Amino acid sequence: MSSSESWRGLGMVKETYTSRPAHDLKLEGIREKETYTSRLDCILDKNELSKEGIVFLLKLDRREHLGRLFKKADEVREEYIGEDVYVRGVLEFSNYCRNDCLYCGIRKSNLKLRRYRIKPEEIVGIAKNAVSSLGFRTVLLQSGEDGYYTTEVVEDMIKRILEKCDCRVALSIGERTVEEYKRFYDAGARRCLVRFETSNKKLFEKLHPKSSQTKNSFGRRVKLIKRLGKIGYQVGTGFMVGLPGQSIEDLAGDILMYDRLKANMAGTGPFICHPDTPLACSNNGSFEMSLKVIAVTRIACKDIFISATTALQSLNNANGRELALQAGANLLMPNITPKKYRMLYQLYPNKACVYENPFDCANCVKKVVETVGRTIGRGYGDAIRK
């Protein structure tokens, strides 16, 4: 059976939480409305959120209630993080991937995609330009899981970037061994981004098929993320909103994972279905739910860094990032990949900034930050959360 057939067999191809919450429909009369509103107040006033409280918040759908949620998240952001928005330049240096994640446009089985690898010298040059000319203080090296860049090559790139530039180097290169990540840390990398994608183990394993080259398992992923923190990395992780078969309870579990994994940074974006993957016929995740997830993450995790992701921007290019920054987010991750490669790094279709160059994106993020009346953080933007 092909992976797409077995996927359909599970009968999990619709988002299960788009309808109005059942208890909301049951509410009748002013009394019930008052009870509902006081429950909202009560949840928002508590210092800790329970799973039930998170589910309640994620089910909010009336304009005035959503307004309260986003306002509260913005207040928590102001109190714990302040006005600075930190900016990380993302360099997508290779779209080769040994993995076959069912949702991802650069999965190994997508034979329609032209693959590219940027040479290490060019990577170092792009990073140098991003730091010295465009003013970025973090360079995030991102790629598919590509063994072409051996431990020594990655190590050497990190060292060369740090010799030339006053910046932090962050890695988003997928699963590597703990020993390799230790060597990258010794070479100077200080941040790492490995998403757990979903806290629902069954769903994770459905979405990440095992192969002779990849031993994908939820347990392995979670263990790696925890080990990265022990090595000393500031750890970023996250999940997708609106994966086929994901429930609201799963999303609540996802948010609670941030504390369980001692994450410093949260990256959450909507799932966007790619036509050349087994999930081609699914629905996209919702923009509004992604925004609610950001707000609830801020209220639950207080001082964690939260990014307004490219996927969120891709669903609402007009003001998606602005809305995210006003609902709890404090990080932006503009693209510093040369224009000629961008089209080929489409994890999902209609990805934002495919026709722009690094200079455009650097200017664009300044405008976004200005629009919401905040400031760009001038330092490295290291995690507050220890």
Are the CB atoms for 242 and 269 separated by under 8 Å? Answer: no
Helix (H) or strand (E) holding 122: helix 120-132
Residue type, 115: R
Q: How far is the CB of 358 from ligand FES (least distance, A)?
A: 9
Residue type, 254: D
For the chain, give the number of residues.
386
Residue 259 interacting partner from ligand 5AD, ligand FES, none (CB closer than 5 to 8 Å by kind): none
Return the closest-CA partner of residue 104 out of 141, 142, 144.
144
Locate 269 and state its tokens.
């974006």
Residue 104 interacting partner from ligand FES, ligand 5AD, none (CB closer than 5 to 8 Å by kind): ligand 5AD
Residue 364 interacting partner from ligand 5AD, ligand FES, none (CB closer than 5 to 8 Å by kind): ligand FES
Q: Is 160 in the site for ligand 5AD (CB under 6 A)?
A: no
Number of residues binding to ligand 5AD, judged by CB under 6 A: 12
Among residues 43 and 87, whose Cβ is nearest to ligand 5AD?
Answer: 87
**Per CB under 6 A, which of residues 343..372 are in contact with ligand FES?**
353, 356, 360-361, 364-365
Among residues 17 and 348, whose Cβ is nearest to ligand 5AD?
Answer: 348
Q: How far is the CB of 228 from ligand 5AD (least distance, A)?
A: 15
Helix (H, G, I), strand (E, B) or coil at 47: coil
Locate 159 and state its tokens.
């060292």
DSSP per residue, 203-254: HHHHHS---SS----HHHHHHHHHHHHHHT-EEEEEEEES-TT--HHHHHHH
Return the closest-CA partner of residue 358 out of 335, 340, 386.
335
Helix (H, G, I), strand (E, B) or coil at 36: helix
Q: How far is the CB of 68 from ligand FES (least distance, A)?
A: 30
Q: How far is the CB of 242 from ligand FES (least distance, A)?
A: 23
Residue 365 interacting partner from ligand FES, ligand 5AD, none (CB closer than 5 to 8 Å by kind): ligand FES
Q: How far apart are CA 200 and CA 165, in angstroms?
A: 40
**Per CB under 6 A, which of residues 63..122 are in contact with ligand 5AD?**
103-104
Q: Give the footprint of ligand 5AD on this chain (CB under 6 A).
A: 103-104, 195, 197, 240, 269, 271-272, 274, 311, 347-348
- Please report, as ranges, the residues that interact with ligand FES according to CB under 6 A: 334-335, 353, 356, 360-361, 364-365
